[in-house]
Amino acid sequence: MSTEKNNAHGSMPEGQGVDLSKPPAVYTPDRFQGQRVLITGAAQGIGLAVAHRIAYENGSVFLVDRADLVYEVAGELEKAGDGTISSATADLEIWAGAEEMMDQAVSALGGIDVAINVVGGTIWAKPFEHYTPEEIEKEVNRSLYTTLWSVRAELPHLVDQGGGTIVNVSSVATRGTNRVPYAASKGGVNALTSALALEAAPKNVRVVATAPGGTLAPERAIKRGPGPEGEQAKQWYQEIVDQTVDSSLFKRYGTLDEQAAPIVFLASKEASYITGSVLPVAGGDQG
């Protein structure tokens, strides 16, 4: 996932959150009617915005997050549409967590038709030579293995039922400063998406991804990791903010709605002839 921006770091303004009591500003009623959708990272940020939209488009949604906040979100979304709303917590950095997630999704919804894998995000921001081996492993676990394990758990079910769709959330930060382990992880997500699309197409499974750029979001209720401490760390983070804005043709961060819209489109039947693609959503920054 992209660097979701809030005013705890750098100098960009805080973004608008998702008002679960109201419909999205733009949505397509009934687009997901009869569809069962699993969404990881659904308690906050981009994942929450995606869940909000699909619930209002009358999809049945299974929300997954590592934070208990996901249960509160699910309760709010029960009022949104005609679909079933269920939720679970899971540690997707390990295979057992992804396997348990799928078992619970099948139990709650009877199966899934679409899987949207959002979990990920930069933990630290600094030049590569300052990362410890332990920090590198944690970055890869957070932003590659969460998707790798999730897809491995989701795919057999989709194949067995005769088809479905997987949407991964990558990042344009594969070409980004001060986050090499995260960039390498998201490069892996891109490769996973394109390679698996080749294997899965004969089995009627589409595999696609978006690559968000910097995204404005409110302060996270559950933080990904420690914020920058000290002037040097703040400077390194500010370099990420500056590069993100400079790389965008619009010279700004995107909004949660601007990230959710293409994810939801790719997940829908409207995108039935698209597979293997990684769509940059970064104001013209191709990554």
Q: Give me the pLDDT at residue 177, please.
A: 96
Q: Provide the pLDDT for residue 180.
A: 98
DSSP 284: T
The number of C-alpha atoms within 13 Å of 53 and in the hemisphere containing its C-beta is 24
| 182 assigned to active site | yes
Q: How do the pLDDT tens digits run along the chain, 287 residues long?
A: 455 554 333 444 467 789 998 999 999 999 999 999 999 999 999 999 999 999 999 999 999 999 999 999 999 999 999 999 999 999 999 999 999 999 999 999 999 999 999 999 999 999 999 999 999 999 999 999 999 999 999 999 999 999 999 999 999 999 999 999 999 999 999 999 999 999 999 999 999 999 999 999 988 777 777 778 899 999 999 999 999 999 999 999 999 999 999 999 999 999 999 999 999 999 999 99
* Interatomic CA distance for residues 28 and 32, integer angstroms: 9
* Strand ranges for the chain from DSSP E: 4-5, 36-40, 60-65, 85-89, 114-117, 164-169, 205-212, 215-216, 278-281
Predicted local confidence at residue 192, as pLDDT? 98
Q: Looking at 27, 56, 145, 182, which residue is catalytic?
A: 182
Give the separation between CA 179 and CA 173, rounded to whole angstroms.
8
Rounded to whole angstroms, what are the CA distances from 202 to 7, 114, 162, 169? 46, 17, 10, 23
pTM attached to this predicted model: 0.94
Q: Domains (ranges, CATH) in the chain?
A: 4-16+26-281 (3.40.50.720)
CB 165 within 8 A of CB 114: yes
